[in-house]
Structure 1
Amino acid sequence: MDVMTLSYVNLLIGLAGVILLSLIYKNAQSERHLLFWLSASFALCVTSICGVVIRSGVEAPYWLVPAGANLATISFSAFILSAIYVVTKRRVKYHWLFGVLALAYALNHTDFAQVSTVNRILVNFPLIIVLNLLAIKQLLAQTKSELSGVYRALIFAFVVNIIQLGTRFTLLILLQFDLVSPSQTTLIHSLGYYGLTTYAFLTLGSCLCLVYKKSSIEMRDNMERDPLTGVFNRHNLPLKLQNELQRASRSKQHVSIVMIDIDHFKKVNDSLGHVAGDLALCHVAEVVQKQLRTYDAMFRYGGEEFLICLPDTPLSSALNIANRIRKHIEQSELSALPELKLTISVGVATSSTDVSDWQLLVQHADQALYQAKRQGRNQVLHYDGAAIISL
């Protein structure tokens, strides 16, 4: 495959990226990283068109070809790095982004760069390698992400690109010292077009995989989580509790269940409206989650009821957590409704050797909660055997 054909292939990859990502972004405008992938695809199109212009023998001003073409090539990597920053929840510093691109364009207008193609390569390659290394560094920090498979594919793309750039850079340095034959120049340029094709295919292909994977994760989360409060809904509650009980039985540990009910919640809806009720639910969910450990799970159990699963937690620890939550709710304030004072009633139950059924454990916690409400609310009670006992 000759260089002109590779230029057309790169152009097709870029156009495909522009069209597909434009359609995806049209239906997912909150996914800001798509704009950077789209910009990278557009930059690839510009680079490829400039390559066709060069190979066609058409005369063009230096600011466009090769300076503009080199800027587009560097922009491709810069926009991909920016997309990775957005996906991995890191803020893009636009003054750095456009500063790097301005520097690259200025370097291509220096006397050194204007002397020869070799000099321009020596100027531009280090910038691209640095951008790729920064992307790899950011991706390596995401080892626990559910997108780690896609991230590994991107890392592979960057490594391949760095290897081909490093190889060409080394050959060009050797060429300057007459350590390789001048006939190798054509090979070096051909390797560059092959490298760009591989790099573009791998990165933009990984981008599409990333979009698909992210949408799959979001759909799953939407099924598993309550849309109002963001905590888990009851869909996976049976499986979660049964798994935890089985694991606790094997490891001789305890699982505790905490049932929470917002006191006088109906009065909140009746006096302040359902919007206020929704705010109250979200507030309670937020306050509770701040008091939990990373491996605890919170579920919206009913209208104003929440259930918390506390793995590896004996009764004494569960009671401490429950009472800490109760106090934080009582002392906290809704910024949108400072006049609204919320309290909660709490029931706690802990697994024992004769309790291996999650439904029975939930029933015990619910009984303790019911008793806490009957005894005046805003308190924590726990189920101990056949008795309901206050803290």
Structure 2
Amino acid sequence: MYHQHKLELPSKIKGLLNLQEKRIEVPAFDYFFGDLKNVERQITRILESLEIPTTGISIRSASMDEDTKTNSNAGKYLSFNNLQSFDEIVNASKAIIRDFQEKNNTSNPCHILIQKTVASMYSGVTFASYHDDLLKIYTESFFGGCRTVVDGITTPYISHYNNETWRHLNNTGDQYHQFITHPTLFDKTNFEIATSGNILLTSLSDFPKRIRYFQKTMDNEISVYGNCPRKAPNFFIEKLLQLHAISSSFTSEYPNGIDMEWGIDKQGKLYIFQIRDLTSPIDFEITSYTTEIEKTPNILKGIPASKGKLTGVVVYKNSNLQLPKGAKKILMLKEANVENTNNLKAYDGIICTYGGMLSHLAIVSRELQIPCIVGVRSIIPEMTSISMDCNKGIIKLM
């Protein structure tokens, strides 16, 4: 591996080194500080020890202005996945360097992070923050590869940990239940319950279904919103508690909180792809996600991603339509992917058909303080006048 003093490295690389030092599983990686002239030489060096797996290689930028303590710049620069050859890796590295130089109007080199791609069956993002010595964790996850949640190509399942709530419930003497074990690892149907053991499950019948787990032997409450993996539920809880333990081990390195991207492979192994400072904490009431509203044609319900209230007109990206004078522009997107996080400052509000609170779009909107609602499961016609309550995730068509 290329050696450079840790203090001189970008946060993205330092995070992976921190994980390695604590013997936490990360995909094999290497990095280099390069310009367009030395890419071939650096890639040749790296591939001597980092063989290309059948799942391919992932390449990302790792610049000093990404993943800082105040700004993630999530999705600012190009990234590539599942690269299979030397030429693909070289060309992708050069494309990232050019992208970095163009967006910063510089000829300076940048760090390139090269990592083996993990074939994730299930993946997600976890936020952990500390309040009054209490670790609170919020996770969004879904079936598929590592970019399923961050790119906002679906509306994810939501998990939430809260120690204080657990201690309150533990004193009520409620009856605990245990799940029936199911053979399928990732079946999207609801779990069934038995009448003995140490785990309680309750669920709501209407979408979004809410399933809550209480693990009597652990000092945590785990709430899971939506359907969940269907092997023995203990397996899913085990992985969530692993994320809790990892978050707890980084309180000194990341005192303001942690943002982690992770995946679970076919063998059930948990990998951490990235860890960084938490720049856009979740300060919403989690219960707002399940708030039911009257089903009327002119009201849509989504997930609050960035707080605020406004009235404006819906526009699509790169639209040339003329808005009424003084009207606020509300951008309507289908997916919360990296390409859609550019030039968000041009809009007063954002709505996205899919995605959750931890997608790149949601993170950037909070950092820019632009009101945003994701996961509305609808596409609003262009030039529609609407009002948005982004504190509650409610959109009214006017």
Tell which structure's C-alpha radius of gyration is larger. Answer: 1
Q: TM-score, normalised by structure 2?
A: 0.19
TM-score (norm 1): 0.19
Question: Higher helix share goes to which structure?
Answer: 1
